[in-house]
Amino acid sequence: MKDEFAFIQSLLPKKQYHRSLIKGIGDDAALFHHGDEYDTVVCVDTLVENIHFKRCTMLPAHIGYKALAVNLSDIAAMGGIPNYYLVSIAVPKKGWKDCEVKEIYDGMNELAERFKVDLIGGDTVSSNQELVITVTAIGTVAKGRRLFRQNSKSGDVVFVTDFLGASAAGLSLLLEHGMNYPYAKEQRELIEQHQKPNPQIKAGLLLVNMGVRAALNDISDGIASEANELAEASGKTIVLDYGKIPKHPALGSFSNKEIEDFVLYGGEDFQLIGTANKKNWDQIQSAFHEANIKITEIGYVKNGEPKVYLLKNHSPFILDKRGYNHFRKNE
């Protein structure tokens, strides 16, 4: 397998068996009819030891916390409310103590308590090598209000929540120095963003409750990759202004080149990138300000080929779909 995304495209079903299915493969989560007022949203993510995390960068509780967080972030990108989750975990026969595995579940429970999400089942098996944890999250979204990637229209504002680049920067520090290094306050902030990301459930719900048309994607693989997914899904051109992208304030000790890589390609910020009708932008900004959620305009959508252009020093260039890809060399 050479390319994760090409492989997923090759799996697209040629037919659909259930009329209740609204959206299958191709967005942050699947969606199907649930009742008169809500639809059901379901997503699943897997974390593999030494691929998604290392023992030198995350404590067991961090692993559990993040395993649930990445799923809740997908539900946020659909404008949904998380309700339940299931956990399948494959534990190596050597190297992991029972108490450490319990701490993984403690980490999940910390986040579950915050968002009132119930653990309803799963599976526990052994593994010959690395630890593997798979979480399936189930939630609801108001009928007719789902925030699909394909919702982008020409003239839309492109926006992001909060700051970008922190998680990738935090990981770089952990890989260089480990967890026991005497980090400065700003460095600890970056590490916290990597180990315990904050799913933007409230931001997604805010857009849904406002009733505005919007497209959303969560930033798991880097803004370059996620913006391209929005462009491809909607068949539009997206233009981003690098100068407007909010970089995390604690990135000051890194070089400009490092910051650019963290912000554009680093991923795992688990913020939201989205588009919305220009005429609703003032209303959206006011609502987010009142809710104390940072939101920043970083570009616009126009008719054209499904590509992303980045403006830097007033010069545009194509922003390739680079970011984390499991089956391709990640630059």
Q: Is 220 annotated among the ligand-binding residues?
A: yes
> What residue ranges do the domains of the chain occupy?
15-142, 149-318
| Confidence class for position 322, pLDDT limits 50, 70, 90 | confident
Residue carrying the six token digits 């990135």: 251
Q: Is 268 annotated among the ligand-binding residues?
A: yes
Cβ-Cβ contacts under 8 Å for 131 (sequence gap 6 or more): 48, 49, 63, 89, 90, 91, 92, 96
Q: Is 45 annotated among the ligand-binding residues?
A: yes
Q: Is 98 annotated among the ligand-binding residues?
A: no
Q: Kindly report, residue by residue over 305-318, the tens digit of the pLDDT.
A: 999 999 998 899 99
Q: Is 122 annotated among the ligand-binding residues?
A: yes
Fold of 15-142: 60s Ribosomal Protein L30; Chain: A; (3.30.1330)
Q: Is 123 annotated among the ligand-binding residues?
A: yes
Q: Is 300 annotated among the ligand-binding residues?
A: no
Q: Kindly report, residue by residue over 258-315, the tens digit of the pLDDT.
A: 999 999 999 899 999 999 999 999 999 999 999 999 999 999 999 999 999 999 988 9
Q: Is 126 annotated among the ligand-binding residues?
A: no
Q: Is 39 annotated among the ligand-binding residues?
A: no
Question: Model pTM?
Answer: 0.87
Q: Kindly report, residue by residue over 35-76, the tens digit of the pLDDT.
A: 678 888 889 999 999 999 999 999 999 999 999 999 999 999
Q: Is 222 annotated among the ligand-binding residues?
A: no
Q: Is 74 annotated among the ligand-binding residues?
A: yes
Q: How many CB atoms lie within 10 A of CB 114?
A: 12
pLDDT at 197 over 80: yes
Superfamily in which the 149-318 domain is placed by CATH = PurM-like C-terminal domain (3.90.650.10)
Q: Is 324 annotated among the ligand-binding residues?
A: yes
Q: How many helices (H) and strands (E) does the chain have?
A: 9, 13
CA dihedral sign, ordered 63, 66, 70, 75: positive
| Confidence class for position 200, pLDDT limits 50, 70, 90 | very high
Q: Is 156 annotated among the ligand-binding residues?
A: no
Could you tell me where the DSSP H helices lie in the chain?
A: 4-10, 60-77, 98-115, 166-177, 185-195, 201-210, 223-234, 256-261, 281-290
Strand partners, 301: 238
